Structure 1
Amino acid sequence: MSASVFAQTVRLAATLCLPLALAAALSGCVTESSGQETAAGAPPPPEIVAHQVVTSDIPLELAYMGQTAGSREVEVRARVGGILLRRDFEEGSRVRQGQLMFEIDPAPYQAALEQAKGTLAQAEANLAQNKRDAERMDKLFKGDVVARKDFDDARTAVETATALVDSAKGKVREASLNLEWTKVTAPIAGMTSKETRSEGSLVTTNTDASLLTSISRVDPIYVNFSMSGPEMMKIRKLRAEGKVAITGGGDFTVRLTLPDGADYPTTGRINFTDTQVDATTGVVKVRAEFTNPDGLVLPGQFVRVRLEGAHYKDVLAVPQGAVLNTQQGAMVWTVDAKNQIAPRPVVLGETVGNDYLIEKGLEPGERVVAEGVIKVRPGMTVTVRGDAPAPAAPPAATASEAAPKAAEADKAAGKENRS
C-alpha cells in the first residue's frame, strides 16, 4: 500500500468515527440515576398569533348587481302613415331636442290640407250669407211682415253655419298637424339607437309598425338594482337604534364597478327607493344616478354597485378564524398577561368581511388566539408571535471544531465515571 492511499484511509476512518464520538459525548450529559429528562428535552410552548380586541368603527360593506339605463328613454314613433322618404340623422349619434330625424311623404297630407281649407272657405261664405239673410229677416219681423217662425229659421241657419265653420277650421287644423307630423323630430336630446324602418318602407300608425328608433339620455345615467326586503328593514332598524351611522348624516355614496373590472371615476347618489316590496321577488327596487358627460357608461350594461359611507359604531370584532363553534355555542381562546390560555363563550353579531362582531363575552383590551387555535388547551402557556424575539439558536459546529469538543466531552465523561 502506498503512502497516499494509507493517508486517505486514515482520514476516512477519522471522519466515520467523529459522529460516534459526538453521540457518546451527548449521551454522557444525562445521568442514568436521575431517570428524568432535562429542560433541553422538553417541548417548547406552542406559538400562536394573538388579536387584541378594541372598540372601533367598522365599515358596513353593501354590494349588489345592477343594470344601467338612460335617465330618459323615448321611443320615436310615426304619428302619421305613409312612405318613409329619408332618414336625416346618423344611427348611434347624439341628437338635440327638436332635430329632424325622419321625413314621411307629405304629398297626401298637403292635398288634404288644401281640401280642408276649401271646405272652410265654403263654410265661411255660407255663414256670411246666412248672417245677411238673418239681418233682413230681423227688419221684416220688426215690421210685422214675416212670421215668427221665419225669423227663428233665419237665426237657426246662422248658428248652423257658424258650427260648420268651426268644424271646417278643425279639419284644417287636423290636416295642418298631419302635414307637420310628416317631419319626425327628436322629442328629447340623447343617443339614438338603430333605425327600425329604412327609406322606402311603408309606415303605419299601429303599435308594431310605427316605431322608427329610440333615444336614450345618458347624462345623467341611471343604475337600477335591488335590495332584499329583510336587509332593507335590518339597515333601517340599525340606523334607528344608532348602531349604524352614515358619514355626514346623509345618504349612501354609490360607486360603480364596470363590466371590465374598472372603477367608475365618479360617485353617484340614490335618487329613488321604492316604497313597497315586490310581492313576486321579495326585493325593494332602488335607483342610483351618475353623471356621464362622456357617455362612458351605456344603457343596458351590467355593473356592480357598492354603497359606501355607512359604518358600525363602537363595536368589537374578532377574525372568523378565532371563533370555534361548539355544542354549547360560539367560543374563543383568550390569552392573559402571562400568556396562559382560557376558553371564553361569546355571542356573535353580524359578519363583516372576514370578521365577526362580538355582542357579548369580550371586553376591550383582551387578547384572543387568532392563529393556532388547534394547538392550544385550557391552562396552557403559549408563545405569542410578535411579543418578544425568539432566542437565536447556537451556530452548528464545523467538522474542524467537532474533534476538540468531542475530546473534551470524553474527558468529562471519564471524570464522572471515576467519581
Structure 2
Amino acid sequence: MKKQRLVVAGSGSTYTMGMMMSLIEEKDRFPLKEIVFYDIDEQRQERNAKATEILLKERYPELESFSYTTDKAKAFEGADFVFVQIRTGGLAMREQDEQIALRHGVVGQETCGPGGMAYGIRSIKDMIQLVKDIRKYSGDAWILNYTNPAAIVAVALEREFPNDQKLLNICDMPIAIMISYAKLLEVNVWELVPEYFGLNHFGWFTKIYDKEGNDHTERLKNLIIETGFTPEDTEIANDVSWQKTFEQARKMLIDFPEFLPNTYLQYYLYPNQMVEKEDPDHTRARQVIDGRQKRVHDTCDKIIEEGTAENADLHVDIHGVFMVRAAESLAYNLAERFIVIVKNNGIIPNLPKEAMVEVPSLLTSQGPKPFAVGEIPLFYKGLIEGQLAYEQLVVDSYFEKSRQKLIQALTLNRTVVNVDKAKAVVDDMLEANKGYWPEFK
C-alpha cells in the first residue's frame, strides 16, 4: 500500500488538530510518509504546527516527515493529496457578515443568505489561485476541498477548472447528521447507506438503509418525531446552537414529512424565526471565537508548554474522519459510498445539467461515480432551482464584477427576498469587504 504525501492547506484552522487525530486513527487504512502544513498566516499556523509535531512524535512515530511552511513550492511539490480548508478574512470577517445581515433583519449565518454570499465572493479568488498554485507544482495531486461556502465555491471552481478530474468539493454535514441517525438506530454510522439529493447545505435524505439492505427510513422518522433529534458528533454535541439546530430539524420533518432534511434548511424554511433568535452582539461567529477557537488554541498552547499531548483533550471528529476516509477510497480504489458535490449531467434529470449537486457517489481512483437520483418532486425542484439560481448569480457577479447580479442573487434567496433589503445589504457588504472583493460595477 503506497504511503502518501499529504498537504493541509489552511493548516491554521481550528479543525486541524481534529484532522490530525483522524489521520492517526486511520493510519493503517491511509498510511502517510509525510505531512506538510501550508498557510499564509504564519503565526496562526505555527501554534497548530508546534502542537502537531509533538502529537505526531508520540502517536505517529512511523511518519517519516512533518513540516510547516508558507512557501508554495515547498508545500505542493510532489503532493499526492491536498486537503483544503481556507477561510479568507478569518472569523473576524465572518462575524461582520453575520452582523450586517442581522442589522437589516435577515438571516446572519456563515454559508446561507447574505453571509454565504459575502464569504463566497471572498473565497472564490483565493480558491482559484490556490488550485493554480497546487497544479503548478503537482499536476496529479488529489485536491479535496472543504472550503465554505462549498456550493458557491464548487460552481466557481467548475467554471474555472472544468477539466480538472482530481478536484473534489466535499462537506461533512450529511455524515454529521447521519451520526445522529446512527445513534437513534443503535448502529455504527458507517453501516448506514444513504440516498440523498440536493445542493450543498440544501438537501434531503430520501432513504436510509443498512448494508444488508434493510430500510430504516420510516422508523427513523418516527424516532425523530417521538423522541427528538440531537447532535452526536463530538465537535458539536455540547454546542447549544447546534442542539437548537437539530431540534429545528424535527420541526422541518413534521412540516414536510416526505424526506429527512439537512439541518441548514432551517434558514430557508423559517428565516424570520432564525433572525428573531439571533443576537447581533453575540453572533454564531462570536460563539466560535470564544468557544471552539479558544479551546483549540488553549489546547495547543498546553501541549507546547508541557512538551507532550498526553494530557490534552483531543479527539477524532467527523470533519477529519470523513475527509480521510474519502481520500482512502480515492487513493486505493475502494469505491466506497460518500455524499459529495458533482456536476449534475443528468443525475437529477429535471434540474439543469450544469448544476453542482450533492449526491451519493462511489469514490474510485478515477474519481467519483455518482448514483442516478431520477426526477425529484415539484416542491423540492422549485426550492432547489431558486437556490441554484442564487448561487450561479453570485458566481456570475464575481466574474462579471456586477453589483446588479448581487442584488438579483439576494432577491432570489429565501432568506432575503425583499429587493430594498437586498440593495441595502449589498451596499453594506461592498463597503465592508473592500480589499477582499473585486471592484464591482
Same fold by TM-score, threshold 0.5 exceeded? no
TM-score (structure 2 length as normaliser): 0.15
Per chain length, whose mean CA-contact separation is higher, i.e. which structure has more relative contact order (CA < 8 Å, sep 6+)? 1
Q: Which has the higher strand share?
A: 1
Q: Which has the higher helix share?
A: 2
